[in-house]
Amino acid sequence: MSGKVYLVGAGPGDPELMTVRGLRCLRQADVVVYDRLVNPALLDEAPARAERVFVGKAPGAHSCAQEEIHAILLRHARAGRTVVRLKGGDPFVFGRGGEEALACLEAGIDWEVVPGVTSATSVPALAGIPLTHRAVSGAFAVVTGHCMEGDRLDWDALARIDTLVVLMGVSRLPLITAHLLRHGRAPETPAAILEKGTLPDERVLIGTLGSIAAETARVGVGTPAILLVGEVVRLREALAPEALLAAAV
């Protein structure tokens, strides 16, 4: 009898931001197949008997090819195990969860997606930057820096979006900002880099579209990090947690 694969979103980093449904699945797992950005504290929520399989990917260093991950999920499910594929953020937002779901479907394996809190919205929010705000931003777009390969993005359209969120784009930051400037976005447009959002060692760099790449290179930024472009960045001055704390004092 085959088991089941749960594609579970672990949230943006802070373990308290995982969903109740995701945590329930994790606590029933026989096997946990997890990514690099999953908070280690969440692994402690799985049963002690559960097998833990690391398949993390970092820029230029993949511990496991995507096809191998598919094979791991299918092998354990065919053995009758409950498999939790634990992924940072949301499985269907640049998490390749769709590919893993299709692999299960084609193999006749029962599967279910458990949505997670995506970093695209939660990290800016907790840093005091709403993605939409009346009279400032009526729309936002989320893209990944990896999609620049082959020029798959419509930069002319993206340059006109009120708020732009770029995931996994730090290594291509000079190219991304150059594209937006070339397609008409003003260099004085506020911009922010949000590094390790929701975690204790989070850093926030504030600048402009014209300056943020140079500032990031100067101070050095690790991953994960998000680029945010738009007038909403100005709201952080009033809405950042530290600003609210100062106001309360």
Does the pTM exceed 0.75? yes
The answer on pLDDT for 149 being more than 60 is no
What amino acid positions are annotated as catalytic residues?
35, 57, 168
For the record, the structure tokens of 218 come out as 């100067």
Q: What is the pLDDT of residue 248?
A: 46
Q: Specify the CATH number of the domain 119-242.
A: 3.30.950.10
Q: CATH 3.30.950.10: which residues of the chain?
A: 119-242
Q: pLDDT digits over 99-144, tens only?
A: 999 999 999 999 999 999 999 999 999 999 999 999 899 999 999 9
pLDDT in tens, 200-248: 999 999 999 999 999 999 999 998 999 999 999 999 999 988 765 454 4
Contact predicate 192/199, CB 8 Å: no
Query: Averaged over 38-64, what is the pLDDT?
Result: 87
Task: Render pLDDT for 62-105 as a digit per residue (tens, 0 to 9).
Answer: 568 999 999 999 999 999 999 999 999 999 999 999 999 999 99
Query: In the chain, what is the straight-line distance between the N-terminal and C-terminal CA atoms, in Å?
Result: 61
CATH 3.40.1010.10 domain extents, the chain:
4-114
Residues 6+ apart with CB under 8 A from 189: 208, 209, 229, 230, 231
Q: How many CB atoms lie within 10 A of CB 11?
A: 26
What is the predicted pLDDT for the residue at 150?
55
CATH architecture of structural domain 4-114? 3-Layer(aba) Sandwich (3.40)
What separation in angstroms does the CA of 228 have from each of 72, 165, 194, 216? 35, 5, 8, 13
d(CA 20, CA 22): 5
